[in-house]
Structure 1
Amino acid sequence: MRTQRSGPGTTAQHALDGLRRAIIAGDLRPGQRVRQEEIAEGLGVSVAPVREALRVLEQEGQVVYRPRRGYFITELCANDLAEIYELRRILEERAVRAALPTLDEDAIERIALAARDCAEAAERGDVAAELAANRRFHFGMLESPDQVHTMRLIRLLWDSTEAYRAMYYNSPEERTLTLHAHDEILDAVRRRDADTLVAELEAHRARALEVLTAVLDAPE
């Protein structure tokens, strides 16, 4: 696994960041065992912060613990993924309809900046940067102060599929289609057209689900 060593003062947060990078980069793939000693050595830390970071990822649904075997990157089936995306559809429609009227020009500009960052990362082939920008893009139009519990659930659903989202963004064709979808979504945000925005977001999710389901159903 490719990791980045850190200097003095390394903490569990550094281990957590390293594990997240490995999942996004595809160094740790769904179903793969997480070798704690190897991770710790690569990050230049002891096993203790790695173990603490894995407990955080377990709570997010990104890893599972199997007694006497250790931690494994969560492996989803097509039904799991469909359920997660259906829950996202329900919660994100609720969130975006509540948040859209509260977005000021600065907020819309931050969403537009995230879209540009996503496009630039896609052009470079930097999947990690694109995923981070994509998350800022989507959450920028979902979050509002009075939706704390809704957003907590949405974050959990996003986190639980991060490894699969990385697989999706590794396809150049899908990266291109995603940028086009972002343009349509941003246009609806600028026009404050809630119905069109909901429809564009649903089409965007449906495409991702279609591609990821094909990945899950592909023969080994």
Structure 2
Amino acid sequence: MEYRTKEEQVADYLRERIISGVFPRGSRLKQAEIAEQLRLSITPVREALKLLEAEGYISGDSYRGARVVPFDAGASAEILQLRLLLESQLVRAAIERITTKDIAELRVLADDFAKSFESGDRATARGVNYRFHRQLYDIAQLPQTLHFVQILWARYPFDLINSASGRGEHAVREHEEILQAFASGDASAAMLAMRKHIESGWTVLKSLSDSAQAE
């Protein structure tokens, strides 16, 4: 988005790659390497790392190399409820502003997500999924709400959820339901579809957690 500062763009680039697994949990991020990769000066990268540390994506000394923190595999029901509350607000606001062009761009991302899962490239699928939700929520123009949502995302084990058998197919259908509701301008249906999407992922997480405890 054109209105973002360089550090915000870098932070978004890093969030996507952390969530997708390009930068694995527990790995180190060195600002000099990132700056070289993005062909930027150190300053916006350093500031982006500070943003991510404040949100809970990384920890440590950004000068020597920050470490990507693990997802919270025991993500609490409180995180789920906060996601449902805040992301519903973003959906309600977004449906009042979304354009035909926005929907077309989101459909491209939804199709890319489906193709990535079908090809078995789950890392790419997670990255596209991040862009789908981020682009959708950007339309709401509620930056503070989105900021808090990103903090919750830092604590949510998307990699574990998306590793579950059949999750990709379900997510593809859920994305389509969300887009259909937006295309029809039905705020209630859009909020319900997003709630279903989030709760579906939570159900998978709880099932995996219960299975691990049983073992």
Whether the TM-score (by the shorter chain) exceeds 0.5 is: yes
- Deviation, 1:120, is 0.9
1:74 maps to a residue whose letter is P
- Deviation, 1:212, is 1.1
Residue 128 (structure 2) aligns with: 133
- Deviation, 1:144, is 3.3
Call closer, same or farther: CA 1:98–1:62 in 2, change over 3 Å.
Answer: same
Residue 93 (structure 2) aligns with: 98
Structure 2 residue 56 is matched with structure 1 residue 61: yes
- Which of 69, 72, 81 is residue 73 of structure 1 equivalent to? 69
Residue 118 (structure 2) aligns with: 123
Call closer, same or farther: CA 1:98–1:28 in 2, change over 3 Å.
Answer: closer
- Which of 149, 158, 163 is residue 165 of structure 1 equivalent to? 158
- Deviation, 1:175, is 0.5
Structure 2 residue 151 is matched with structure 1 residue 150: no
Aligned equivalents of 2:168, 2:177: Cα separation in 1? 15
> 5+ residue gaps in structure 1?
1-12
Residue 38 (structure 2) aligns with: none
Residue 198 (structure 1) aligns with: 191
- Deviation, 1:206, is 0.7
- Deviation, 1:132, is 1.8
What SS is found at the alignment partner of 1:108? helix
- Deviation, 1:147, is 0.9
What SS is found at the alignment partner of 2:153? helix
The answer as to whether partners of 1:97 and 1:194 remain within 8 angstroms in 2 is yes
Call closer, same or farther: CA 1:145–1:24 in 2, change over 3 Å.
Answer: closer
Q: If you compute each CA radius of gyration, which structure gives the higher value, 1 or 2?
A: 1
- Which of 172, 188, 202 is residue 179 of structure 1 equivalent to? 172
Aligned equivalents of 2:147, 2:117: Cα separation in 1? 28
- Deviation, 1:129, is 1.5
% identity of equivalent residues = 26
Call closer, same or farther: CA 1:155–1:122 in 2, change over 3 Å.
Answer: same
Aligned equivalents of 1:170, 1:119: Cα separation in 2? 15
- Deviation, 1:59, is 2.6
- Deviation, 1:197, is 0.9
What SS is found at the alignment partner of 2:96? helix
- Deviation, 1:136, is 2.3
The answer as to whether partners of 1:100 and 1:141 remain within 8 angstroms in 2 is no
Aligned equivalents of 2:52, 2:202: Cα separation in 1? 22
Aligned equivalents of 2:132, 2:183: Cα separation in 1? 13
Aligned equivalents of 1:72, 1:92: Cα separation in 2? 24
Aligned equivalents of 1:160, 1:111: Cα separation in 2? 25
TM-score, scaled to structure 2 = 0.71
The answer as to whether partners of 1:185 and 1:201 remain within 8 angstroms in 2 is yes
- Deviation, 1:124, is 1.2
Call closer, same or farther: CA 1:188–1:61 in 2, change over 3 Å.
Answer: same
What SS is found at the alignment partner of 1:102? coil
Call closer, same or farther: CA 1:73–1:183 in 2, change over 3 Å.
Answer: same
Aligned equivalents of 1:140, 1:44: Cα separation in 2? 23
Aligned equivalents of 1:183, 1:145: Cα separation in 2? 19
